[in-house]
Amino acid sequence: MEQQPHLSKPFALFRLPGESALHLWEGAGDVKQMPLEGLIQSANPMWVSAPFDFYGHKTVWAFEAVSMRKISSESLAGWNLHAGLFRVSEMGTLPDTPRHQFEKAVEEAVLQIREGKFLKTALSKIRNVELDSSYDWMDWFIKAKNRFSNALVFFVHLPGIATWAGATPELFLSCDGEAVKSVSLAGTLHPDSQHGWREKESREQSLVSDFITETFLDSGFHQIHKTVPEVLQIGALRHIHTEFSATLPQEGLSAVARLAEMLHPTPAVGGLPQKEGVAFILNTEKHERFFYSGFMGPWYGNGRFDWFVNLRSMQLFKNRAVLYAGAGITEDSNPEEEWTETENKLRMNADILTE
């Protein structure tokens, strides 16, 4: 049986989309805050976690991986990573987002969009799920990786900072040393929806796609390949999905760092224009997002990485998980429909936790 990681040290357990291998990256020392430009130049493998509120400092949290190994699902069943082992929230219990508060925020966002203050924003909410102290977090991981084959399934522990778990469908940015890739993922449809794809979802996805294209160009990437929008299904939910790729310009990794800094947060989780959409979120939401809707993933070294938007995720505390979900808001948004959309997104993890 593979030895389990120690909670006194950082680690990331993850399964990349479309793959079967489970990866465990472990660190030996502290998790460090560092500028993205500095990390991009590193030859050492690291796990990277960036917060949503990235605007002023452009720094990420990272730990150097001193051990990188593939493990089996059978090994996870023998680990002792129970809910009672994690730290108590220093802020106390964050209250669930009330429905009236969320829908009022959507109404205000639509009003400001129609007044021309911005084109799009994204609003999130939280929900607490109480867990028995013996709840096995590896049971969640095994079920999630089996259920969501085309998502990054992750369990990331940063001692003294945070522990997060989730199954995100959205690639933020990846690089193989020669080319970069990104995706536009926006618009959501649930099987129980009373309608099909509408102009609202198509426009939402177009706004995100146009922003990504413009940001690639502004960052020095000129040979951009863009796929035709397709439908991507994650669990019961469907999304409109467009892929982008471009070869590295002569400037190399400096251009990659600039692209990442300019892309995050994309309009899918922040807003458009970026500054105004994010400002509305920070002034409206009553909870901190922390790493939710930030980006994270492995940095392999020497310009190679796979980073994903932190979605369909939760922050872990002692005997409790705080689940996050959000929805893109445009001028056509309906508060009740946006509430229902976020409820469906929360269910991805809530259903597994309460089975």
What pLDDT does 239 receive? 87
Tell me what the mean pLDDT of segment 74-90 comes to. 87
Tell me what the mean pLDDT of segment 308-335 comes to. 96
Cβ count within 10 A of residue 6: 11
* pTM of model > 0.85: yes
Q: What does the pLDDT look like over 269-283, one tens digit per residue?
A: 999 999 999 999 999
What pLDDT does 202 receive? 83
Tell me what the mean pLDDT of segment 239-262 comes to. 94
Write down the mean pLDDT value for the chain.
93
Q: Are 267 and 120 in contact (CB under 8 A)?
A: yes
Lowest-confidence segment of 57-61, 129-133, 193-197, 256-260 by average pLDDT: 193-197
What pLDDT does 194 receive? 61
d(C-alpha 254, C-alpha 265), whole Å: 19
Tell me what the mean pLDDT of segment 79-108 comes to. 90
The pair of three-digit structure tokens given for residue 257, joined into one six-digit string? 């760092």
Name the H helices within 55-124: 73-76, 99-114
Tell me what the mean pLDDT of segment 120-132 comes to. 97
Q: Closest Cα to residue 91, out of 280, 284, 290, 269?
A: 290
pLDDT exceeds 90 at position 186: no
What pLDDT does 187 receive? 78
pLDDT exceeds 90 at position 205: no
What pLDDT does 297 receive? 98
Identify the structural domains of the chain with CATH numbers, from first to last.
Answer: 11-353 (3.60.120.10)
Residue 188: pLDDT band with limits 50, 70, 90:
confident
For CA atoms 258, 262, 266, 269, give the dihedral sign.
Answer: positive
d(C-alpha 105, C-alpha 93), whole Å: 22
What pLDDT does 121 receive? 97
What pLDDT does 52 receive? 95
Percent of the chain with pLDDT over 70: 97
